């Protein structure tokens, strides 16, 4: 996937939970599926910044599920919409 600064995505606060994700914007691309995000909080207010966020399909979450709970993960908006249809 081509990631770029300004791309809209979804941020899951805990990558393996079913809570509704927040809209986020990529502020920096590190490569290997990791990005920095500006997250729009559900309650409004200022953006929440997160660095080095992994993609929700990162294989490390399979072997280290506690990492998913602690760090959260991002997901492409297009993939999220199609997985729910």
- Does the residue 35 lie in any domain? yes
Element (H, E) at 71: helix 65-71
Beta bridge partners of 24: 9, 39
The pTM score is 0.84
Number of domains, the chain: 1
Give the DSSP letter of residue 31. E
- Does the residue 73 lie in any domain? yes
| Mean pLDDT taken over the chain | 87
- Does the residue 1 lie in any domain? no
Per-residue pLDDT of 58-83, as tens digits, reads 999 999 988 988 899 999 987 655 45
pLDDT at 16 over 90: no
- Does the residue 3 lie in any domain? no
16: containing domain: 8-84
């Amino acid at each position: 996937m081509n990631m770029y600064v300004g791309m809209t995505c979804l941020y899951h606060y805990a990558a393996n939970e079913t809570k509704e994700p927040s809209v986020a914007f990529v502020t920096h691309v590190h490569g290997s599926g990791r990005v920095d995000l500006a997250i729009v909080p559900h309650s409004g207010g200022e953006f929440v910044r997160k660095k080095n966020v992994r993609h929700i399909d990162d294989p490390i979450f399979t072997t280290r599920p506690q990492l998913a709970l602690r760090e959260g993960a991002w997901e492409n908006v297009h993939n999220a919409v199609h997985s729910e249809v």
